[in-house]
Amino acid sequence: MLNSLKKAFGGNDEPRPSSGKKGDIVREKSAELYEKAKTYFPGGVNSPVRAFKSVYGTPLFIERGDGCFLWDADGNQFIDFCCSWGPLILGHNHPRIREKVTKALEKGLSFGAPTALENELAELIIKHNKYIEKIRFVSSGTEAVMSAIRLARGYTARDKIVKFEGCYHGHSDSLLVKAGSGLVTFGETSSAGVPKAFADETIVIPLDDRTALETVFSDFKEQIAAVIIEGIPSNNGLLIQEKEYIQFLRDITKENGSLLIFDEVITGFRLGFEGAAAHYDIQPDIITYGKIIGGGMPVGAYGASAELMRLISPDGGVYQAGTLSGNPVAMAAGIAQLTELRTSNFYKNLNTKAEEFTGAIQRYVKAKNYRVNIFNVGSIFWFAFTDKAHIRAAGDIDPASMEYYKAFHRELLNRGIYLGPSGYEVGFVSAAHSKIELEKAKRAIFESLDEVFRHKPAV
């Protein structure tokens, strides 16, 4: 059976007929839970994208996950490529993580005091990561980035931050801004409740635009504390940058006495153990982490050289604290997960599997002449309904193409495939995705694409 699937969907993919339109999955219990949730939470959710506003139907309420599978409240089973938005690189409910967490739970949930588990996870990270010398654990990626910005400002005694349009760094006030009307402008608030004065300290420019960055440093000489970029921008499509551009960021920040921050909340420990820093072989000044280092538990961290980190309280004057920082359950989960990632050929096997998966889909759409590209780096991928060979800036994404994704998402759910409920979100392959499940997923993706392009959405 597997050989026949490989022949059909492997290296020499040929167009195959769609099985036709599938009926919509049952969502009765999820719909009931959603109606109830709306009486408790704004929009019925605790994070906006979960509301399914960009796709069809009500949100799915998940009951459980195991390996590469999810089951919702109505009993529907899905092959999951969202992986809790990235942290579950080993898949759901991994036995070694579960065992380590259970042992930690037996000793207590939280102490607000140091534990040996913090040392163990920090040693595991720093010993195998040449890009940082000291680390500070926090409770989320947002908190990690917020703290990194404060550190950069404290170190440089400057106030302004440069970020890029299309890069998301959490919901702290300094970074929840969008581009202004000009090529190089102060940011404008992208959320109610963010004071204009905060946004005025953030300059937003396009990605992959050297002139814009040169102009920024010319116009705001000796005012810029740091330039921050996602390791590989993955929150607004997958905007893969060329190494030459990232090296340009490194060079221009050094020349102007500013710091370079890599936000590796998604890419950290995903592309490889040393993340995007190693992928580009470029040393940033500060790196932020999250997601994978918690093994599915809430966690974040930021790290830098010992020289920079000595400014953090209680050693220095840059204050940052947190009751649940270094939470023992989260540390235990992270230790278990990162230990698995250190096994021989883990990343080679995972990335090869992901590249074969996305490569087969790309060959299929090319054979069918569909207007879609699958961009990927390591085990991260993104479906873009475009004929552009490269998309490196947010402005290159056609908003109208999201209507195609909306229809695609519905067809995938009806065939048992779960992707994030937004066409701007990336997908992930985990170690738990076996060849059999990936072949099933490819078949479902082929059929879904056939259906989408047979009935092209109105745009």
> Known catalytic residue: 168?
yes
Q: How far apart are CA 167 and CA 289, in angstroms?
A: 15
Q: How far apart are CA 383 and CA 405, in angstroms?
A: 8
Q: Which residues of 315-337 are buried (b: 16+ CB within 10 A; e: fewer)?
A: eeebebebebbbbbbbbbbbbbb
- How are strands ordered across the β-sheet holding 224-230? 134-138, 300-304, 286-290, 259-263, 224-230, 160-164, 202-205, 185-186
Q: How far apart are CA 79 and CA 169, in angstroms?
A: 28
**Set 13, 80, 263, 450: catalytic member:** 263
> Known catalytic residue: 319?
no
> Known catalytic residue: 291?
yes
CA distances in angstroms from 216 to 162, 164, 178, 206, listed in the order given: 8, 12, 16, 12
Residue-level length of the chain: 459
**Set 100, 291, 353, 442: catalytic member:** 291
**Interstrand relation of 380-384 and 177-178 (parallel, antiparallel or unpaired):** unpaired
**Set 34, 155, 168, 289: catalytic member:** 168
Residue type, 268: G
Query: Which has the closest alpha carbon to 356: 5, 1, 72?
Result: 5
Residue type, 91: G
Please give the positions annotated as active site.
Answer: 168, 263, 291
